[in-house]
Chain A
Amino acid sequence: MSSDLFKYTEEREAASAAKVRALEALLIQKGVIGSDSVDTVLEHFELTAGPFNGARVVARAWVDPAFKERLVADTPKAIAELALPQGMAGAEGEHMAAVANGPGVHNLIICTLCSCYPWPVLGLPPYWYKDPVFRARGVREPRAVLREFGVPVAEDTEVKVWDSSAQIRWFVVPERPAHTDGFTEEQLAALVTPESMMGVALVPPPVAAAA
């Protein structure tokens, strides 16, 4: 059912596009916002806040077990150790917390009431995270949901589901893939996806190395 949401008629999308442009134009005319205000927001999510930061946090956790311990114990403090852009405790990241996958433990992040998401380290939530079907089923049958994402979780693995219902914005430290011995942090960070940092994907071994 939800896939229909992405197949609306061109007419419907064009009407929304015209309405949002009209709204922005009127707000500029009335002095509510400037003509550079919206672009400033969008630039922030291209350059400053995004999954490229979370990937660096995860890569450091993979190469430095002591950092990983500090990250899980006090996430903002550990993140502040890294040379990431300013603003890692900014909007929607004022109170972040990391949980780590490991043998026998798989974490899944959800927001059943809306779409709370750790902006500074992950940017903006993808559509799957905002989907009412995911929000409904993720807390009841997480393994079934994860299978649909292509992530098999063994019956005896403990699944922890984190419902972002107050101040904390959660993210996952996925497990380091095989065949990455000797990888630099930069190479490791390139393997980390937003989905893996929300728990709906594993980080696969690099293709060339696994082949």
Chain B
Amino acid sequence: MKLQHALGGLENLGPVNVETRVFVQEWEKRIFGIHTVMMAESAHLADALPKYPMATLPTAFKENWTWASLRTGAEGMQPFEYFKFRYYEKWLMGISQFFVDQGYISADELAQMSAYYRVQPDAPLPDRPNGPIKQQVVDYLLRGDSGLRPVPDAPRFSAGQTVMVGDPPAADHTRLPGYLRNKTGTISEVYPGAYNYFVSTGPDGIGEPMPVYRVAFEATHIWGADLCEPHTTIYADLYEVYLQSPNA
């Protein structure tokens, strides 16, 4: 498991930051926007819920790009490097590298173009509006990309049942917070249906549709009574593959 997978519960970090701005630099808006356009253009949306007409979208972009792509990149960073960069700096690094790795742009042309805009920050962008992409971006934002799928099998667990959280290898990416591994909780809700995930996380186990549960954990059971605050319950939504019967 990587540090990024196990932030919950780390001690000796000092005060929280109470910055309420979403963007602290104008440039951050642009990388957020590029990422969101990529999500709206992702090839996997052809088979999403709802289905989008990706085959006819006039874009050169032919990749899958989802939250899993961005998270896998952030979780793949050397952990101490991870904390040196502000949120959108990590996005800018990960997304630029993706386009270089996939051959859409070269590292050289990115460096040259960056040098150009470094000297002339107000030089305009190319003027090539694209109506169909604009429409797809709006459609994606308004209609979304739900992981809900019909469930063929009955959920293994039911509300009120005690469950033990597993400890699968986290591999490149996981949706199982580290502080919950090997802890015992109570199912507080069985969500109707089943949920897939954007990608297969390999030995971590999610990807194919499966039930998801809301699991309640007493903070004292996670941290120990002397090491946390009283009257605290933590709820997490966990995919079925992450849960085991406590007697198993």
Q: Is A89 an interface residue (CB 8 A)?
A: yes
The residues in A between 82 and 132 inclusive whose CB is less than 8 angstroms from any CB of B are: 86-87, 89-95, 112-115, 123-128, 130-132
Stretch at the interface among A30-38, A62-70, A173-181: A30-38
User: How many of B's residues come within 8 Å of A, CB to CB?
Assistant: 103
- B67 CB to nearest chain A CB (Å): 8
Kindly state the separation between the CA atoms of A24 and B126 in the bound complex, as whole angstroms. Answer: 9
Q: B13, A31: Cβ atoms under 8 Å?
A: no
Q: Is B234 an interface residue (CB 8 A)?
A: yes
- B107 CB to nearest chain A CB (Å): 11
Q: What are the 5 A-B residue pairs with the smallest beta carbon separation, nearest first? A: A34-B130, A38-B33, A22-B113, A166-B237, A87-B142
The residues in A between 27 and 65 inclusive whose CB is less than 8 angstroms from any CB of B are: 27-42, 44, 48-49
Most chain B C-beta atoms within 10 Å of own C-beta, residue among A6, A32, A126, A145: A32
Q: Is B41 an interface residue (CB 8 A)?
A: yes
Residue of B14, B71, B230 touching A1 (CB-CB under 8 A)? B14
Known: A25-B113, A30-B60, A163-B8. A37 touches B37 (CB 8 A): yes
Q: List 29 A-B contacts (CB under 8 A).
A: A1-B14, A6-B24, A14-B118, A17-B27, A21-B125, A22-B116, A23-B31, A28-B125, A31-B59, A32-B104, A34-B129, A37-B133, A92-B144, A94-B148, A113-B4, A125-B22, A127-B22, A127-B87, A128-B17, A128-B19, A133-B14, A139-B222, A142-B229, A142-B232, A148-B15, A148-B18, A163-B235, A165-B237, A167-B237
Residue of A5, A20, A34, A114 touching B31 (CB-CB under 8 A)? A20
- A121 CB to nearest chain B CB (Å): 13
Binding site for A on B (CB under 8 A): 4-5, 7-11, 13-22, 24-27, 29-34, 36-39, 41, 58-61, 67, 71, 74, 83, 86-87, 89, 92, 95-96, 99, 104-105, 109-110, 113-118, 121, 125-131, 133-134, 137-138, 140-148, 174-177, 179, 191, 195, 212, 214, 219, 222-223, 227-239
Q: B16, A133: Cβ atoms under 8 Å?
A: yes
Known: A2-B17, A20-B31, A38-B34. A28 touches B231 (CB 8 A): no
> In the assembled complex, which residues on chain A have CB atoms less than 8 Å from the CB atom of B109?
26
Q: Which partner residue on chain A sits nearest B10 by CB separation?
A: A136
Q: B195, A167: Cβ atoms under 8 Å?
A: yes
Q: A194, B20: Cβ atoms under 8 Å?
A: yes
- B225 CB to nearest chain A CB (Å): 13
Q: Is A16 an interface residue (CB 8 A)?
A: yes
> In the assembled complex, which residues on chain A have CB atoms less than 8 Å from the CB atom of B59?
31-33
Q: B177, A165: Cβ atoms under 8 Å?
A: yes
Residue of B86, B118, B175 touching A8 (CB-CB under 8 A)? B86
> In the assembled complex, which residues on chain A have CB atoms less than 8 Å from the CB atom of B39?
91
